[in-house]
Structure 1
Amino acid sequence: MAAALATLAHPLTAGGLSVPAFTDSALGRLRWIRDLDLTPDISVLKTHTPSHRQCRLHSVPAWARPLLAAARAHHRLAPSPGGYVFAPLFPAEAKHLRAHAQRLAETGLPLAGSFLAC
């Protein structure tokens, strides 16, 4: 999984697609992830729902840590790093992100059933 995701050129895309792979959550959950939802060593990630009634902590597997570290670095280097880490992926209804997720699914990688939902 990590090798396939690492072939994606953009750190937000690769990091974003790693989250549903180890959290078993939909892509839509990415829109609520902030920088502070990752521990400094990127070993734990907190995911949110809009109502905050189903927020969860997830252990980040070793293969996903470099991908999320790159996404975090990209976020911090952005002109205005406030807000949500993966927010730039969602202006166009995450069509680009879903297209990459679909391409990965077609390679036979095991993905959660809700992975492509947004």
Structure 2
Amino acid sequence: MEQKQRMPRPVDIACLVVTIQAALAAVGAVFMGALMVAGPDIPWVAWVLMLLTLAAGVCGWMLADRMSSRRRRVLASVIALEAAVFAAGVASVVEDSDPGLLSLVNPHLIAPVVVTGLLLVPSSARAWFDR
């Protein structure tokens, strides 16, 4: 009988962070949807933003679940998702009416850097995705 290998600690932490991001995206999409249903004359862009937030949450949840598969395409997909989340964070900082140092302390900017760093920097994490 084949014994299941344990994920290296950096991959395990990255998986936890992606799961937390997915949960927060789902909660945010639910709150956005509730506010949009209650309000009159909501622009279509708000609906698109809510659907994109929900899609990012579902993708993150699915990818976090697949990290144990050890496939390289899962690694590439997680990094691509984190790049999209980082780009959304940069867009929110650029659109901020009062940008400052505090606007850079944003989960949309910090979490993708942490996840990407945990998955690419330690050799044990890169070696995990060998299939």
Q: TM-score scaled by structure 2?
A: 0.28
Structure showing the higher strand proportion among its residues: 1
Q: TM-score scaled by structure 1?
A: 0.29
Whichever of the two has the greater Rg, that structure is: 2
Structure showing the higher helix proportion among its residues: 2
